[in-house]
Amino acid sequence: MKKMLIVAASLLILAAFFGVMAMTFSFGSPKMTDMDDYFLRHGQEQTGTNNQCTSVTFDFRGFDTLGESTVLFCAIIGVALMFRKMQAGDEHENE
């Protein structure tokens, strides 16, 4: 019973928090727009791409995409390690 009360109270508090957030900040009109405006105004001339998402991911934030590619590479190495074939009779995998 006490557990249920605690769960209900925390859910109520969370709902009130998100409700207040949704009411205070209106969707589609952010408070700080300097960076968005810069990307939209200069993105086409500086990167030559019409698709501004690509201009951000591959040019302005190229390091982020480099990290993503590296993460994918490491994930595939992990899968390859998990599913490698052991020879018959091997007890230790690193031999």
Partner 1 sequence: MRMSRIVRTAADILYPTILIFGLYIIAHGHLTPGGGFQGGAVIATAGALVIVAYSYAEVREWLSGKVLMGQEVIGLVGFIGVALIAFAFGQVFFFNYLNASGSLFGIPVPYGINAGELNTGGFVPLMNFAVGIEVWGGLTLVLIYMLSGLEKEVC
- Confirm or reject binding of residue 37 to partner 1 (CB under 8 A): no
Overall residue count recorded for the chain in this entry? 95
Cβ atoms 42, 49 nearer than 8 A:
no
Does 41 contact partner 1 by CB under 8 A? Answer: yes
**Shortest Å distance, C-beta 90 to partner 1:** 16
Distance CA 28, CA 82 (A): 45
Least distance CB 75 / partner 1 (angstroms): 8
Q: Give the DSSP per-residue string, 17-45.
A: HHHHHHHHSPTT--S--HHHHHHHHHHHH
CB of 85 to partner 1, least distance (A): 7
Which value, to the nearest 10 degrees, does the dihedral of the CA atoms of residues 35, 36, 40, 42 take?
0
62 near partner 1 (CB under 8 A) = yes
* Contacting residue, 37, 76, 86, 90, with partner 1 by CB under 8 A: 76
Which parts of this chain interact with partner 1 (CB under 8 A)? Answer: 41-42, 44-51, 53-55, 57-59, 62-63, 65-66, 68-70, 72-73, 75-76, 79-80, 82-83, 85
